[in-house]
Structure 1
Amino acid sequence: MDNWRKSSYSGPDDGNECVEIASSPTCIAIRDSKAPAYGTLTLRIEAFRTFVGAVKGAEKEL
């Protein structure tokens, strides 16, 4: 995957302290922006949606 992009929440001071994602028609890949060579986590789109939904649900509980 070549279309890596950083979170819109990454500011100028911490722009290197975030994750990057790349997408294809069937999956989403996630990597550490500080160490992209360490590997990626690849999820099917449905699993990624479930993951994001769980994170958003956990934010509401805080």
Structure 2
Amino acid sequence: MTVWRKSSYSGEDKCVEVALGPAAKIRDTKDRSGGTLEISTRSWDAFLIGLCRPTPQDLREL
């Protein structure tokens, strides 16, 4: 059984969901039956790290 998760900050149908396992599966909540993007969990981790890393532009504001 696949367990889909989404951010607690998102609305009911305006976000993406992710299911983690041997691979990360990603889908749009507005069209759950429309297809799933599947990437390696290593790629998913790299994506999240990239989102959380400050950019040089962010650092100038400090």
**Does TM, normalized by the shorter one, top 0.5?**
yes
Moved over 4 A (4+): none
Structure 2 partner of 1:43: 39
Please identify which structure carries the higher strand content: 1
Structure 2 partner of 1:27: 23
Deviation at 1:35, TM superposition (A): 0.4
Q: Secondary structure at the match of 2:30?
A: coil
Deviations along 1:1-51, one digit per CA (max 9) or x if unpaired, are 6211221222xxx22101111111x21111001101111111111111111
Aligned residue pairs: how many?
A: 56
In structure 2, distance between residues paired with 1:45 and 1:22: 10
Identity of aligned residues (%): 36
Structure 2 unmatched ranges of 5 or more: none
What do you get for the CA RMSD once the two structures are aligned?
1.6
**What is the TM-score with the length of structure 2 in the denominator?**
0.74
Please identify which structure carries the higher helix content: 2
**What is the TM-score with the length of structure 1 in the denominator?**
0.74
Structure 1 unmatched ranges of 5 or more: none
